Amino acid sequence: MNRNAPFRVVCLAGPSDSGKTTLVEELVSRLSEHGRVATVKSIHHDIEIDTPGTDTHRHRTAGADTVVGITPELTFDISTHGKRDPPDRPDGTALLESEDPEIRALGSTLTRLERQGYAFVVVEGFSAAPLPTVLVGDREPAAVGGDVIGRGEDDVDALVAAIRGLEPLVDRD
C-alpha cells in the first residue's frame, strides 16, 4: 500500500439507466492499473444486505456499530451509520461539515477509504457532492455540486487522464 499516493475522488452523476454503472466498471478497470480503487454507490432506498438470522446480522442487531465479516474470498463491513445518521467526524474534509446528512455520510466514508490507502474512489450518485464530476446521460452541469471534468460519452482514456490529474482530495504530507 502506497500511503503517499494522492487520494483522488470522482463522482459520476446522471439519471437512472444512463450508463453510470457501465462507466464505473470501465473506469475501475483502467484506474486499477495505477493504484488501489474503491467505489461508493448511493442507494436511495433501504435494502437488507445482512440476512436476518446470520451471525453478522445478530451482531449488528445486538448493538455493534460496525460488523466485519471475513469469508474465504471476501471481507465486508456493515456500519449502522447511513445517510440518515452519519457519524460525526469533525477532523475531516469539508464534506463532513456539510448540513446535508447524505454528504456527511459520503465524507465519512471517503475519510475511511483514504485512511485505508486507496488511490482512487469512484462515486456513483451523490450528485450534490462538491466533488469533480463526470456527467452521464442528459444531466446538466447546474444539477451537480462539483466541477464537471468530463461526460460519459468522452473517450475512457481521456476520462482516466482527467481523474489521474485531479488535485488530491486529501493532502497526505
Q: Which three cell numbers stand for residue 17?
A: 439507466
For residue 124, the surrounding DSSP H or E stretch is strand 120-124
Task: Supply the pTM of this predicted model.
Answer: 0.79
The whole-number pLDDT of residue 90 equals 44
The whole-number pLDDT of residue 73 equals 74
For residue 25, the surrounding DSSP H or E stretch is helix 20-31
Segments of the chain with pLDDT less than 50: 1-2, 90-92, 171-173
pLDDT tens digits, 25-51: 999 999 999 998 988 887 655 656 677
The whole-number pLDDT of residue 132 equals 96
Structural domains present in the chain: 8-46+89-164 (3.40.50.300)
Query: If you search the block for the grid coordinates 464537471, which residue do you land on?
Result: 148
SS3 for 161?
helix
Cα 24 to Cα 136: distance, rounded to the nearest angstrom: 11
Least Cα distance to 113 among 168, 36, 13, 165 occurs for 36
